[in-house]
Amino acid sequence: AETSPYRKPGTPVTVIVFEKPWGTHYRLKAYVKESRQQFLFITDLTVRGKEAIRSMGIRFAQAVYAETKN
């Protein structure tokens, strides 16, 4: 988040991590430069975060397929 072009300079970045049964939940708090860029900021952080995790060879958690009967 600190290197995102959408982050408001000089503001703090906080990362909180929770372990859940289905995987790791990351919660990030950072401030965007302009409110109209909020979704671009979220997308930027999501894409770059997933790229970083993949580059470490870590596999993402996957939900088990459940078939429902009608």
66 assigned to some structural domain = no
Q: Is residue 35 part of a domain?
A: yes
Residue-level pLDDT at 47 = 95
Q: Which residues contact 55 (CB under 8 A, 6 or more apart)?
A: none
Residues 41 and 35 sit within 8 Å (Cβ to Cβ): no
Work out the pLDDT band at 16, boundaries 50, 70, 90.
Answer: very high
As for how many domains the chain has, the answer is 1
In a domain, 36, yes or no: yes
| Residue 23 covered by a domain | yes
CA dihedral of 35, 51, 20, 32, whole degrees rounded to 10? -10
Quick one: pLDDT at residue 45? 93
What percentage of the chain exceeds 70 in pLDDT?
A: 97
The domain of 37 spans 14-55
In angstroms, the CA 29 to CA 34 distance is 15
Question: CA 20 to CA 10: how far, in whole Å?
Answer: 32
Reply yes or no on whether the pLDDT at 64 is more than 80.
Answer: no
pLDDT digits (tens, 9 = 90+) for 18-43: 998 878 888 999 999 999 999 999 99
Q: What is the pTM of this model?
A: 0.73
